[in-house]
Amino acid sequence: MPKSPERCEEIRTDMRNKILHKSILYFAKNGFSGTKISDLSKYIGIGQGTIYVYFESKDKLFQEIHQMINREKDISQIKLLANLPIPAKQKIHKLTKEVLRQLEEDDLFAGMIALNTQILLEQNGGNSAYGTTYQSELYKYMTKIIEQGQKEGSIVSGNSLKLADYYWGVVYLYSLKRLFTTKYEIINSEDLERTVLKQ
């Protein structure tokens, strides 16, 4: 009497996601080389072998995490925001509020930001300062908002891509703090906004 194939598939998908989600935080905190499979599996609460049922190797697991981060990262929000008929300043306010809310509420968000930036830094090998794959999507809309704000006079002058990079860099910075420090105080909206806003 075999298990029902649907149930089986469901179990597999659940476990796979569990491993992926938990691993994001663990890798973000410990780095790739600093993560031992034995520790990771203990942290997830499963046997070592189980990881290898779902992922070929530590490397492959890490790669999949990377892909998952890119996939899940919520571009849609900022995309929406960018196209709204409101002043750029207000867009930055809304974006900042949302980002800081997520940063505060959700470990995973911080982990994803941190891991993603680290991967970008390492993989780029410095090929280009900006713009790999999806990242460009995020930056594209951010850049749009910034340029709008520059026209409206609410955002400081300068290369818009560079400013976008600065804004997200600071978000990365506080994601790290979120992950590594406990008595951590989140950055103020005003401080974060000042990366790009005048005044």
Contact 75, 36 (CB under 8 A): no
Token pair of 38 as six digits: 């034995």
State the minimum distance, in angstroms, from the CB of residue 69 to a copy of itself.
18
Full 3-state SS string of 124-184: HCCCCCCCCHHHHHHHHHHHHHHHHHHHHCCECCCCHHHHHHHHHHHHHHHHHHHHHCCCC
Pick the binder of a copy of itself from 4, 76, 128, 133 (CB under 8 A): 128
Nearer to DNA, 6 or 185 (CB): 6
Contact track, a copy of itself, 134-163, x by CB under 8 A: ----------------------x-xx--xx
> Three-class SS of residue 112?
helix
Under the binding rule (CB under 7 A), the answer on residue 26 touching DNA is no
Candidate ranges 8-16, 23-31, 121-129, 168-176; the one touching DNA (CB under 7 A): 8-16
Contacted entry of a copy of itself, DNA, none for residue 153, CB cut-off 5 to 8 Å set by kind: none
Task: Please check whether residue 116 is in contact with residue 124, taking contact to mean a CB–CB distance below 8 angstroms.
Answer: no
156 makes contact with DNA (CB under 7 A): no
